[in-house]
Homo-oligomer: A and B are copies of this chain.
Amino acid sequence: MADLTNMTKEQLEARLAALEAAYDDYKARNLKLDMSRGKPGPEQLDLSMALLDTVNEDNGAVTASGVDTRNYGMLEGIAECRKMFAELFQVEPEQVIVGGNSSLNMMFDYIAQAYSHGVCGGAPWCREEKVKFLCPAPGYDRHFAVTEYFGFELVTVDMTEDGPDMDQVERLAADPAVKGIWCVPMYSNPDGITYSDETVRRLAAMETGAPDFRIMWDNAYGLHHLTDTPDTLLDLYKEAAAHGHEDRVVMFMSTSKISFPGAGVAALASSPANIEDIRRRLSFQTIGYDKINMLRHVRFFGDAEGLRKHYAQHAAVIRPKFQAVLEALELHLGGKGIARWKKPNGGYFISVFLLDGCASETVRLLKEAGVVMTGAGATYPYGRDPRDSNIRIAPTYPSLEEIRTASDLFCICAELACTRKLLEKK
């Protein structure tokens, strides 16, 4: 395929005409597709329907250890569910708190707790003159938004193939106003990057200016493999503990994309000191999270291995959708010098980088043709991609047929935007 960046003005104009014609054809089809959020499709949700029947009149609602999940109590969650998550987090069950249906909620509440009360005896962050938070970008918009909500200054850190640029992180973390960093360490949102062992080691070992620096370690896709050659992730907590930095690490996880996005179970794990801090706050905040739903999950999945096996069924459903997007990208944009992307081994997204200044125009063109994408820039702090280059594709929710159509159209819109941009410079 010809590299557009080497084309003459005339060649580009000819190409543009062809693209515009193709685009108009798509527009005439009045499509209505959504590739904006990482939402499982109905077929995936159907995989867990039997979970709903695990706690009822026939099966009862009492745990193996004799707890009636219907009543009040058990602020940290039922023992069986803590154990299941402890296996995944590779910590002791006592270091796990099982929450409600949203790990984002647990992260928000943790930041809110740091804001109003500080962590581990430190001053409340709301009393600091300035709080900064590191945001590896592209990253997860809703992480960034939590810290923006509390008025923290978001500091962009570049993502590399190995995770956040650790030279930048180490330099920035020396500033005592920098209180933490957001991380999706495995199959990162949106790039699908898994942090290298070296990155994890440096995060664990580095010196930080703030004694209450926190790594918000959102392992949202920790067992969300797509291929037979899954990535592996080093155990951050163990590494940090080896440096006496165990209080630095707060880990999150959920079954949102394994059971149900709206009715899964979330959990966090951390050092004993952090868990005690959080448990104390919970003793004021709630009567305890939904234990019946915890029991449903324990009975349906059994253990960590059960969760992994179940996810393989999800992977079978969504793998063809990822392949369809990747094939379209390769076929229509490969070798044209205007786009790059990574084939992820897991996670929920494909992240495409276009020529600078072409992302928002591509998203606009798609929207005009009936395909909703995550807003360009959403993957950067404050929603501003300095290069206007990155677009996040979420291929799970639409049907395979719809994904094929949307991917083809995506490529046309991307090439259209890039061709026009190249022509501007001629």
Contact = CB atoms under 8 A, between A and B. Distances in A.
Interface of A: 37, 39-40, 42, 45, 49-50, 52-53, 55-57, 61, 68-74, 100-102, 104-105, 108-109, 112, 115-117, 124, 126, 142, 145-146, 149-150, 256, 260-263, 281, 284-293
A412 to B, nearest CB: 29
A102 B50 CA distance: 26
B261 A290 contact: no
Given A52-B57, A57-B53, A71-B260, A290 B293 contact: yes
A70 B45 contact: yes
B72 A39 contact: yes
Contacts of A145: 284
Given A262-B292, A290-B293, A292-B260, A284 B39 contact: no
Contacts of A146: 284-285
A291 to B, nearest CB: 5
Nearest to A71: B261
Given A71-B45, A72-B262, A290 B52 contact: no
Contact of A286 (B50, B108, B285): B108
* Residue in A52, A115, A116 whose Cβ sees the most chain B Cβ within 10 Å: A52
A116 B263 contact: no
B37 A285 contact: no
B262 A69 contact: yes
A149 to B, nearest CB: 4
A51 B109 CA distance: 30
A57 B68 contact: no
Interface pairs A-B: 5 shortest CB-CB: A263-B292, A105-B286, A52-B56, A149-B284, A49-B57
Contacts of A124: 126
Contact of A290 (B45, B55, B150, B262): B262
Contact of A261 (B52, B56, B72, B289): B72
A42 B69 CA distance: 11
A296 to B, nearest CB: 9
A363 to B, nearest CB: 20
A101 B68 CA distance: 16
Given A52-B292, A101-B100, A105-B285, A262 B73 contact: yes
13 contacts: A37-B72, A45-B68, A49-B56, A49-B57, A49-B61, A52-B56, A53-B53, A53-B57, A102-B287, A105-B286, A112-B116, A116-B126, A260-B292
Nearest to A55: B52
A89 to B, nearest CB: 21
B70 A263 contact: yes
A285 B104 contact: yes
Contacts of A260: 70-71, 292
Contacts of A71: 39-40, 45, 260-262
Contacts of A287: 101-102, 104-105, 256, 261-262
Contacts of A291: 262-263
A86 B262 CA distance: 22
Given A69-B263, A70-B262, 9 more contacts: A45-B68, A50-B57, A70-B263, A100-B289, A102-B286, A104-B287, A116-B150, A256-B287, A263-B292
B101 A289 contact: yes
Contacts of A263: 69-70, 290-293
* Residue in A57, A61, A263 whose Cβ sees the most chain B Cβ within 10 Å: A263
Contacts of A49: 56-57, 61
A312 to B, nearest CB: 20
A291 B262 CA distance: 6
Contacts of A56: 49, 52-53
